[in-house]
Amino acid sequence: MSGKVDQRRREFVSVAGLAAAASVVAPGVFLQATAQAEPRSAPVSSKTRYGMLIDTTKCVDGCSDCVSGCEKENGLDLLKMPEGADPEEWDRQRPRWIRTVKVKDRLTGTVTSLPMMCQHCEFPPCQDVCPTGASFRRVDGIVMVDRHTCIGCRYCMMACPYKARSFIHEDIDEKLTIAPRGKGCVESCNLCVHRRDNGGTTTACQDACKHGAILFGDLNDPNSEIAQELRRQNNTELRADLKLNTGVRYRGI
Amino acid sequence: MQDMFRFGTRLLMVMATFVLAQSAVAGQGAGSVIEGSKAYGLDSCVEPTPLMRKKHYAFLKHDRDITVHQGVRTIKHSLAGCVDCHAAKDDAGNYVPVTAEGQFCQSCHEYAGAELPCFSCHSSTPTKATKAGD
């Protein structure tokens, strides 16, 4: 089997999708998504593409503030180790939306610390493999799981090159209204989607980072801070060879 | 002739079940809304009560897709809305889960013998909103 990405098929699919979308919206009717402090009342639009820029030169080894900030915001800290479970196994398998990762350049020996989460690909492999359509990319660029249709097969966990997804193995007693969660479903970073839809301008990890290493924003808006930063200095996609066009970009690796 | 008799008996049984079911639903009355919840002080739900009784699951199922896939948070039929309005507070001022014994969702689902799987994932009490978003 060829390991090459079938880019032509992807392009065809995107074009077909655009054609379908164009036929639905009547001519002259434009759906607008404006920044508002109120809960979102209009459907999300592809004019926006949310993403993040992570400056690994600012990221400090040993710090995990973004992880704890994320876990507190999204109720992951409410999860308890099942009784009788092996603590080591629990630590390895417990649901996490962000992990801290160290990468080493074999030639130079440079070590870089960075937070790793769902990269919000334009062409998400998790969506490609999902048999029920639960794994999907919202038109504003957020890759997420519709847990109403997730059957817990975990194909997406296998397909994700970034190991970004977690599985909920046990029933959960305590959960937050903003972050529903239950046994048998897969989940991952959704760029704090509840904040997106309620007028928030940051993510929990960005707020938690004391070093200012995480910047969130709209990649499509040329005036946004993130777009300007991306333009100003070079940045990298992780596993750019896969041509997934990730929404999360890194600087300094 | 025997066939006719059988058919008649079945028809009667079906009718009896229907009448019983109707009276059972009517028997729930206004008392089914829990004292101490926001809903207790309101005249009706987001739709007329008989419609809510029959169709609340269909409303929720329709609107959930609009929220998950299109990000619309101002939908009329939201589960968070149900919980927010129907969860009662106890004497200590803490919310009682809508799935607890005798509470709004649980009592009727128990009566109807219907499962209540929403809350295996969703919160059964209103939880605090964070500063930056609901």
Q: Are residues B120 and B70 in the same domain?
A: yes
Asked if pLDDT for residue B25 goes beyond 60, the answer is no
One domain, residues B6 and B39: no
Q: CA A76, A49, A218, A252 torsion: positive or negative?
A: positive
* B132 compared with A225, residue with greater pLDDT: A225
- How far, in Å, CA of A167 to CA of A154, rounded? 8
* A197 Cβ neighbours under 8 A, 6+ residues apart: A39, A40, B71, B72, B73, B133, B134
Q: Number of folded domains in chain A?
A: 1
Please give the residue that has the higher pLDDT: either B134 or A48: A48
Domain extent at residue A131: 7-251
Task: Determine contact: B130 vs chain A, CB below 8 A.
Answer: yes
Structural domain tally of chain B? Answer: 2
Mind listing the pLDDT tens digit for each residue in B40-63?
888 889 999 999 999 999 999 999
A145: β partners: A135
- The answer to the question of residue A134 being in a domain is yes
pLDDT greater than 50 at residue B99: yes
In a domain, B133, yes or no: no
Domain that holds residue B9: 1-32
* Strongest mean pLDDT among B2-16, B87-101, B119-133: B87-101
Which pLDDT does position A31 carry in this prediction?
46
User: Is A1 inside any structural domain?
Assistant: no
pLDDT of B28 strictly over 60 = no
In this structure, the strands spanning A111-116 and A99-104 are: antiparallel
Which pLDDT does position B14 carry in this prediction? Answer: 55
Average pLDDT over residues B93-98: 92
Q: Please indicate if any CB of chain A lies within 8 Å of the CB of B94.
A: no
Main-chain phi, psi angles of A67, to 5 degrees: -65, -45
- Please give the Cα distance from A167 to A22 (Å, whole number): 36
Confirm whether B75 is domain-assigned. yes
- The pLDDT of residue B32: 78
pLDDT lower than 70: segments of chain A: 1-37
Query: Do B97 and B108 sit in the same domain of this protein?
Result: yes
Residues B77 and B105 placed together within one structural domain of the fold: yes
Report the residue of A34, A173, A197, A216 to disrupt the B interface, i.e. the one with the largest count of B CBs within 10 Å.
Answer: A197
Domain assignment of residue A137, yes or no: yes
Q: What is the ipTM of this complex?
A: 0.80
Q: Are residues B116 and B52 in the same domain?
A: yes
- Answer whether residue A145 is part of any domain: yes
Q: What is the CATH number of the domain that holds A167?
A: 3.30.70.20
How far is residue A157's CA from residue A163's CA, in Å, rounded to a whole number? Answer: 7
If DSSP codes are grouped into helix, strand and coil, which group holds residue B100? coil
- Closest chain B CA to residue A179: B122
Same domain, B101 and B37: yes
B50 located within any domain: yes
Q: Identify the pLDDT of residue A36.
A: 46
Asked if the structure places residue A2 within a domain, the reply is no
Please give the C-alpha separations between residue B15 and each of B21, B23, B28, in angstroms, as whole numbers.
Answer: 10, 12, 20
Per-residue confidence (pLDDT) for residue B34, from 0 to 100: 87
Whole-number pLDDT of residue B30: 43
- Tokens for A34, please give them: 């404006």
| C-beta atoms of B64 and A202 within 8 A | no
Chain A hits for B132, Cβ within 8 Å: 192, 195, 200-202, 204, 207
For residue range A95-134, list pLDDT tens digits in order.
999 999 999 999 999 999 999 999 999 999 999 999 999 9
Q: Is residue B134 part of a domain?
A: no
